[in-house]
């Protein structure tokens, strides 16, 4: 395996997450995640890190759509998906080289959200076309909706930062990401080789836990413990956090990290592109990170 290390920018007010927790990146598929250091409330720092995360994620959404759109059945839609992917790849590079100042935060955010808007519309339009049978791509309707919800959420987050507010609200973080984690688990279950009985079971069980946690509060935790007692108990043993949601988030992050490695090494049989495996891993990581910061 080729070696690569992240540039840590020590003392820069930022922190780099890697799969291993060290400086090495597992090439070629791992992407590190940059976040403001704990205790750094600067909205410009958060806007920069979240914009980098979001533009990279959106570039990948375009790529995943293209991979699931055979030219024979969705030629035009595929070209559009690749154009979005290029747009967000370019934006990512530009943002990486030009962190925003505090006084230009509003224009930084509005330039970005203006670019996200047409992609939200594309996801809504194609989601509908796929659901009604007008489009027969290999992109599920739920995948269009899921990725649209992510784009809408990053838009809201960036707009909040433009107002100078960097704090995370625990309920918002929990409500948004538990639903995303539930859907990821079902995506994984349906993209695994049908021979992977055990992993499919685990993924479906995780989906039900997050669907229950999504209901919120102690009722959601109780429902998860009743419906999936073994999964919830294991999660609390492996990640004995005070919050059941954080414990579940850390458990699904571990699951996805192991899955990404297993898919890369072809120990796990699936039709999951390794880039998609790392993508959902990074989203779980962001969930854990936001939950730890949330008030």
Q: Which two tokens stand for residue 155?
A: 């838009």
Contacting range for Fe ion; rule: CB under 5 A; set: 97-105, 192-200, 269-277, 278-286: 278-286
21: alpha, beta or left, given left = phi > 0 and alpha = psi -120 to 50? left
- Judged by CB, which is closer to Fe ion: 185, or 268? 185
Q: Where are the strands (E) in the chain, listed by range?
A: 14-17, 33-36
- Judged by CB, which is closer to Fe ion: 283, or 290? 283
Site for Fe ion in 135-164 (CB under 5 A): 150
| Shortest distance in whole angstroms from residue 283 CB to Fe ion | 5
How many residues touch Fe ion under the rule CB under 5 A: the total is 3
- Judged by CB, which is closer to Fe ion: 48, or 119? 119
| Shortest distance in whole angstroms from residue 138 CB to Fe ion | 17
DSSP 68: T
Site for Fe ion in 50-79 (CB under 5 A): 57
Give CA–CA dist 4/6, Å, rounded: 7
| Shortest distance in whole angstroms from residue 89 CB to Fe ion | 15
Q: Which two tokens stand for residue 24?
A: 């090495």
What is the crossing angle of helices 170-191 and 244-264, to 10°?
30
| Shortest distance in whole angstroms from residue 276 CB to Fe ion | 9
- Judged by CB, which is closer to Fe ion: 44, or 184? 184
From residue 235 to residue 274, what is the string marking binding to Fe ion with x (rule CB under 5 A)?
----------------------------------------
Give the Cβ contact number of residue 246 at 10 Å.
17
Give CA–CA dist 54/36, Å, rounded: 15
Is the peptide bond between 259 and the residue preceding it cis, with omega within 30 degrees of 0?
no
Query: Which residues sit at the interface with Fe ion, rule CB under 5 A?
Result: 57, 150, 283
């Amino acid at each position: 395996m080729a070696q690569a290390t992240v540039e840590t920018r020590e003392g820069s007010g930022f922190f780099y997450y890697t799969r291993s927790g060290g400086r090495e990146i597992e090439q070629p598929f791992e992407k590190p995640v940059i976040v403001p250091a704990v205790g750094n409330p600067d909205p410009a720092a958060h806007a920069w890190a979240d914009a980098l995360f979001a533009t990279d994620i959106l570039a990948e959404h375009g790529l995943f759509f293209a991979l699931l759109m055979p030219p024979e059945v969705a030629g035009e839609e595929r070209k559009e998906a690749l154009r979005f992917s290029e747009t967000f790849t370019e934006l990512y590079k530009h943002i990486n080289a030009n962190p925003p100042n505090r006084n230009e935060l509003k224009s930084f955010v509005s330039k970005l959200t203006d670019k996200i808007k047409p992609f939200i519309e594309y996801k809504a339009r194609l989601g509908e076309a796929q659901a009604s049978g007008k489009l027969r791509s290999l992109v599920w309707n739920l995948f269009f909706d899921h990725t649209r919800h992510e784009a809408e959420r990053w838009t809201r987050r960036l707009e909040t930062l433009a107002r100078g507010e960097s704090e995370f609200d625990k309920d918002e973080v929990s409500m948004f990401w538990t639903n995303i984690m539930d859907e990821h688990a079902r995506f994984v279950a349906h993209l695994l080789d049908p021979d992977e009985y055990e992993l499919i079971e685990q993924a479906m069980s995780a989906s039900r836990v997050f669907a229950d946690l999504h209901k919120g509060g102690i009722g959601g935790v109780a429902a998860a413990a009743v419906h999936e007692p073994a999964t919830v108990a294991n999660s609390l043993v492996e990640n004995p956090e005070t919050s059941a949601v954080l414990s579940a988030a850390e458990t699904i992050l571990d699951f996805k990290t192991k899955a990404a490695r297993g898919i890369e090494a072809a120990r796990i049989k699936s039709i999951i592109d390794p880039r998609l495996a790392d993508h959902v891993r990074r989203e779980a990581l962001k969930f854990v990170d936001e939950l730890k910061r949330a008030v």
